[in-house]
Amino acid sequence: MISGRKVLKEIVKFGKKEYREKKPSNIKILRIKDETVFIKGEPFKRIIIAKTSHPHYLVQVEYDKDLRIYFFSKTGVLLGGENFDITPKLIKIIEKNTIKEYSIP
């Protein structure tokens, strides 16, 4: 099994390549947060069961008015990409559900 750190390095390498070739304004490598399914114990949480969603990593490539998001699995396999219009609602959803791992200005 490939370690998470090695997978992240490969995804960062992909992000740097995109930055060199396509010249976007910003690139962020994001990890999707685990979704909490079950919590037991009050007032201190003793048992927490979380579910990992699929895909696991996102590469967010920002242009002036468009946003391209590439989806990666937990093992670093590219699952595809999709274009979006930049809206405050979309940015808020992405920020709420992800953790920033790396960014390229």
Is this model's pTM higher than 0.95 or not?
no
Domain borders along the chain are 4-104
Note the pLDDT tens digit of each residue in 11-28: 999 999 999 998 899 999
Q: Which of 55, 53, 78, 81 is nearest to 67 (CA)?
A: 81
Round to whole Å and give the CA distance between 41 and 11. Answer: 37
pLDDT digits (tens, 9 = 90+) for 56-100: 899 999 998 899 999 998 888 999 999 999 999 999 999 998 999
Secondary structure of residue 24 in the 3-state scheme: coil
